[in-house]
Amino acid sequence: MRMQDYEFWFVVGSQFLYGPEVLETVANRAAEMTEVLNASGNLPCKIVYKVTAKTNKEIADVVREANYDPHCAGIITWCHTFSPSKMWINGFVDLQKPYCHFATQYNREIPNEEIDMDFMNLNQAAHGDREHGFLAARLRMPRKIIAGYWQDEEVQKRLGRWMRAAVGVAVSRQLKVMRFGDNMREVAVTEGDKVVLTPTSHVFAMYSGHQGARQLESYAETRMLRRDEEQVPELHVSASEQSDGTVLVTAANLNDTEPVPVNCLLGGIHAAGVTARVLAGAPFDHNTFDRPEAVRPAPLAVTPTETGFTAVLPPCSVAAFTVCQK
């Protein structure tokens, strides 16, 4: 499936204690939030408001439904009112999809001069979300916590970044992996005192800068390559930051017949300069004792931009971009 084919389920916590009028208001506001977030342009996938959960069973049922729905890539929870966290335990224990705790409140400002008990009963996100988060911590659940006002652009972008990571989890569960080489085999070929470096050796060297570096969040919006009934992303990327601030971006073009233009956006990174090397060739090209450098890294033309850089990856290639920060 494409990124936009996935969806995230919005599950809002409350309880019957507050009565039907409050529950109707919570449901209407949750639907409104869903509509505004989907229209913001900051989310790569659609949010689907599923339920205002008031019982243990409602939570357990929606979690089990999410687990088995291939389009659901994760759930987002929020407590508009207080939602007794004990009733979330069975659902959380069964949850097999990525989970985001959205710690927000419906109102941007607190109307201090107008607050009464009805307002406090309806707007208990500060109380409900606190206990909700405490329970997840006690259960030691892997989760993402996003705190902030739901209409703020930066908060929406953080939610969008988590969505992309969650879709990566969904894709990885159906991932088919092919191993090239094994345990340093085929890194170099020897014959007596002769040594030939293989393309595998050059790829190891190009990616070695990631070792010991700080991983940076990265993703690629790219076409899918289709062979028979199988499909894989055309472009694969990784990024990391070394201790001296240098950023390494590596990219692999799996298309063996067409070049791929790359427009890399370095969010929050101000580049002082970018250099690049590329390893390219036909799918079965290799080095021999007669032609020891038939396949070797070469400089790659790269154009810095205000937001990052652009380049064109040749067919069947691996590239390494070194970014020096200002």
3-state secondary structure of 11: strand
pLDDT digits (tens, 9 = 90+) for 121-165: 667 666 667 787 888 888 898 999 999 999 999 999 999 999 999
Q: Which domains does the chain have, with CATH numbers?
A: 3-172 (3.40.50.10940), 188-325 (2.60.40.1180)
CA pair distance 197, 276, nearest whole angstrom: 20
Using the Cα atoms of residue 41, residue 45, residue 46 and residue 50 in order, give the sign of their dihedral. negative
∠ Cα 261 267 270 (to 5°): 95
Contact indicator for 315, 255 with CB cutoff of 8 Å:
yes
Q: How far, in whole angstroms, is CA 172 from its chain's centroid?
A: 12
> 């890294």: which residue's tokens?
297
pLDDT of residue 57: 94
Residue 84 structure tokens: 């007794």
pLDDT of residue 133: 82
Contact indicator for 101, 136 with CB cutoff of 8 Å:
yes
Residue 296 structure tokens: 């070797």
pLDDT of residue 183: 54
The H or E element that residue 102 is part of is strand 99-103
Q: Which residues pair with 325 in a beta bridge?
A: 271
CA pair distance 136, 114, nearest whole angstrom: 33
CA pair distance 269, 260, nearest whole angstrom: 23
Cα–Cα distances in angstroms (integers) from residue 191 to residues 195, 204, 221, in the given order:
7, 22, 44
pTM of structure: 0.56
DSSP alpha helix (H) spans, the chain: 20-39, 56-68, 89-94, 117-122, 125-138, 153-172, 199-207
pLDDT digits (tens, 9 = 90+) for 234-259: 999 999 999 899 999 999 999 999 99
Q: What is the DSSP letter of 223?
A: P
- In this structure, what are the phi and psi dihedrals at residue 93, rounded to the nearest 5 degrees? -65, -35
Q: What is the DSSP letter of 72?
A: E
Residues of the chain below pLDDT 70: 82, 116-122, 124-128, 180-186
Contact indicator for 122, 80 with CB cutoff of 8 Å:
yes
Q: Count how many residues are written for the chain.
A: 326
Centre a 10 Å sphere on the Cβ of residue 93 and count the other Cβ atoms it contains: 11
Q: Taking the CA of residue 92 as centre, how many other CA atoms within 13 Å lie in the half-sphere pointing to its CB? A: 22
